[in-house]
Amino acid sequence: MPRVVFTPNLRRHVECPETTVVGTTVAEALAEVFAENPRLGGYVLDEQGRTRQHVMVYLNGRPIDDRLQQSDAVSEDDEIYVMQALSGG
């Protein structure tokens, strides 16, 4: 099953431990996580279900291709890594 990992800076704001999920796309995998933790979904996706501008989602170390619908295919051994961008000086 795909593994979903969230960065420590995101875990500071909302509980989101590493988890394994069922899904054939990034969207399906994240939907399973957000079903258990709706508040987390608000940090990652906007009101239209698109990846928020300040969030990066990686699949096996590479940015996903489809930030709008997260339709990138995932397989059983894949890792989805969700990172909230940091800014400031």
The angle at the Cα of 28, spanning 21 to 49, to the nearest 5 degrees, equals 130
User: Which residue, 47, 64, 46, 44, is CA-closest to 55?
Assistant: 44
pLDDT over threshold 60, residue 89: no
pLDDT over threshold 80, residue 74: yes
Residue 89 lies in a domain: no
pLDDT for the residue numbered 87:
64
pLDDT for the residue numbered 20:
96
11-38 confidence digits (pLDDT tens)? 888 888 999 999 999 999 999 999 999 9
pLDDT for the residue numbered 88:
60
CATH number for the domain spanning 24: value is: 3.10.20.30
**Average pLDDT over all residues of the chain:** 92
Full residue range of the structural domain in which residue 16 is found: 3-84
Q: For the chain, how many structural domains are there in total?
A: 1
d(CA 43, CA 8): 14
pLDDT over threshold 80, residue 86: no
Decide: helix, strand or coil at residue 57.
strand
User: Which residue, 33, 13, 11, is CA-closest to 21?
Assistant: 33
Which strands make up the sheet holding 79-84, listed edge to edge?
A: 19-20, 3-6, 79-84, 55-59, 62-63
Share of the chain above pLDDT 70, in %: 96
Residue 17 lies in a domain: yes
